[in-house]
Amino acid sequence: MVIRRVTAPRIDFGALRRELGLPETFPDAAQREADAAAAAPPRPSVDRTDIPFVTVDPPTSRDLDQAMHLGRRPGGGFRVRYAIADVTAHVRPGGALEAETWRRGQTVYLPDGNVPLHPHTLSEGAASLLPDVDRVAVVWTVDLDADGDMVDVRLERALVRSRAKLDYAGVQADADAGRLPEPIALLPEIGTLLTARALSRGAINLPLPEQDVEADGDGWRLVLRGPAPMEEHNAQISLLTGMAAADLMLAGRIGLLRTMPPPKPEAVERLRAAAAPLGVHWPDGAGPGEVIAALDPTRPRTAAFVDQAAELMRGAAYTAFDGELPEQPAHGGVAAAYAHVTAPLRRLVDRYATEVCLALHEGREVPDWVRAALPKLPETMAATDRTAGAATRGAIELAEAVLLEHRVGETFDAAVLDVDVPPDGRARPGRPLGGTVALDDPPVRARCVGELPLGERVRVRLVRADPTARQVVFEHP
């Protein structure tokens, strides 16, 4: 759902690309390997092209990692089939392409074009689960009972064929009209069930609006979107698969998990203390995830509460293990053990975690090239996560500064999302007290100096908008 959008003039993201050292092309040897793999795609012995898979992605996406088919399980419950692009079938271990994917780590998304993990001949071509073409995939089949508990998990390399490329807006419209296509007709039912189970075990999902920069003719538009229900349901299928993968790896005592410490009790208490002043009801016995799930994040005071809740979600990392199980294997946001296996076209780690799961499920040794990679992946992914995060933040900050460059001195309506609370209550030298505000129009989040009432609406004045520094600053008298 689009909440707000504002058009900005032409913006050059080249300086940001250079600053982050993002590559412009693939090395010749890596590109040749990708082209050769695309020209001679493998054909696994298992054929699942009779299953009418569909993909659900943003409308302009062509790097399609996942396709799903949802059905009833004989005897009751549900059968979730999730086909994941089989990138290993196209990337030779020890080759130039594999080496280049290690240098990149993941796809970096920028408004003027992505910096892909794999060459487009694979990521948007032969390895992508595009509609109406045969593709090799790793198919997860997860059986759930009527309560949503996993009762069986199977995976296999297989040939698949997607029937349609669906997008979130269209799927949401179909759901609202009661006309979802058969392969995902059960998505609202299964997604709601899985969400309820997640909340009951203590999972936390922050419904933060997504800010993005999109092309708009000769210029750009700054867009703020809230998560649509069908996006949340779709995410539950990916989380389900990631939890199934983690269970497999923990049982086999080898793998790579996405981990995060559980929320610290003192952080939960601070959030609980912030609830009443912000008008948020916290029922007795409810966990933070249940409280957050009941909120409307479009209201300023609840948006401020959700922003405060982000403090609960700290310390995410990748944890590799081989033999000895990790001391802390769970992901605090998921409230369960969880692994990344559903986006191998866009994220390096998923390829290796998937190979571990395939080997364990088939009762064979994990390949040496996979085992050797596991302890190296956490550092590689941490570095590329920082780069991808800097690219996203930098693009938005640049668009905000360009959009507001000629409006310095104007005043705007805003909601106060966060405030500085130094230990001694006094401003630090060179950094006056302030916080973060979210403007109503244009949809900008930025620093504001002054005494700010958390969760309240205020008028703020723009005092700085510098595209070179990618900085926007407001003040509140």
Residue 460 is assigned to a structural domain of this protein: yes
- Domain presence at residue 195: yes
* 299-to-126, 231, 353 alpha-carbon distances in Å: 44, 21, 40
- Are 144 and 371 within 8 A, CB to CB? no
The per-residue pLDDT for range 213-258, each reduced to its tens digit, is: 887 777 787 777 777 899 999 999 999 999 999 999 999 999 999 9
Mean pLDDT for 289-317 is 88
Co-location of 172 and 96 in the same domain? yes
89 and 147 part of one domain: yes
Rounded Cα gap, residues 65 and 127, in angstroms: 8
Both 325 and 429 in one domain: the answer is no
Task: Kindly state the average pLDDT of the residues 53-60.
Answer: 94
| Residue 125 falls inside a structural domain | yes
Residue 127 included in any domain = yes
Q: For residue 76, give the 3-state DSSP assignment.
A: coil
Going by pLDDT thresholds of 50, 70 and 90, the confidence category of residue 277 is confident
Does 229 sit behind a cis peptide bond, omega within 30 degrees of 0 on the bond before it?
A: no
Across 163-189, average pLDDT: 96
Q: Taking the mean position of all CA atoms in its chain, how far away is CA 247?
A: 21
Structural domains of the chain, count: 3
- Confidence (pLDDT) at 421: 75
pLDDT of amino acid 1: 43
CA distance 271 to 286: 13
What is the distance between the alpha carbons of residues 114 and 109, in angstroms, rounded to a whole number? 5
> Strand order in 210-216's β-sheet?
2-8, 219-225, 210-216
Q: Token pair of 260, please? A: 């995060």
CA atoms within 13 A on the CB side of 355: 20
pLDDT band per the 50, 70, 90 thresholds, residue 443: confident
Q: Under a CB-based contact definition with an 8 Å cutoff, are residues 129 and 160 in contact?
A: yes
Could you say which of 310, 338, 373 is where a domain stops? 310
Same domain, 434 and 296: no
Percent of the chain with pLDDT over 70: 96
**Please, what is the average pLDDT of the chain?**
92
Distance (Å, rounded) from C-alpha 63 to C-alpha 346? 8
Same domain, 423 and 291: no
User: How many angstroms separate the CA atoms of 53 and 137, rounded?
Assistant: 11
Judgement on whether residues 327 and 274 belong to the same structural domain of the protein: no
The pLDDT score that the predictor gives to residue 425 is: 52
CA distance 243 to 154: 13
Q: Dihedral, CA atoms, 106, 108, 114, 120, nearest 10 degrees?
A: -10
The reply to whether 422 falls in a domain is yes
Do 328 and 451 fall into the same domain? no
Residues 361-420 have pLDDT tens digits of 999 999 999 999 999 999 999 999 999 999 999 999 998 999 899 999 999 999 998 998
What is the pLDDT, as a whole number, of residue 219? 77
- Residue 165 reports pLDDT greater than 80: yes
pLDDT band per the 50, 70, 90 thresholds, residue 2: very low
Let me know if residue 177 belongs to a domain. yes
Domain boundary residue, one of 375, 399, 423: 399
Q: Is residue 363 part of a domain?
A: yes
Strand, coil or helix: 257: strand
* Separation between Cα atoms, residue 165 and residue 150, nearest integer Å: 28
At residue 273, does pLDDT exceed 90? Answer: no
Q: Which among 356, 381, 399 is the end of a domain?
A: 399
Domain housing 413? 406-475
Q: Are residues 237 and 270 in the same domain?
A: no
pLDDT on residue 25: 96
Same domain flag for 249 and 289? no
Residue for token pair 């297989």:
158
Q: Are residues 292 and 251 in the same domain?
A: no
pTM confidence score: 0.92
Are 91 and 140 contained in the same domain?
A: yes
Q: Residue 3: its pLDDT value, please?
A: 45
Pick 271 or 427 by higher pLDDT.
Answer: 271
176 and 271 in one domain?
A: no
pLDDT digits (tens, 9 = 90+) for 65-121: 999 999 999 989 999 999 999 999 999 999 999 999 999 999 999 988 899 999 999
User: Does residue 20 sit within a domain?
Assistant: yes
CATH number for the domain that contains residue 425:
2.40.50.140
Structure confidence at residue 422 as a pLDDT band (50, 70, 90)? low
Q: How many residues are there in the chain?
A: 477
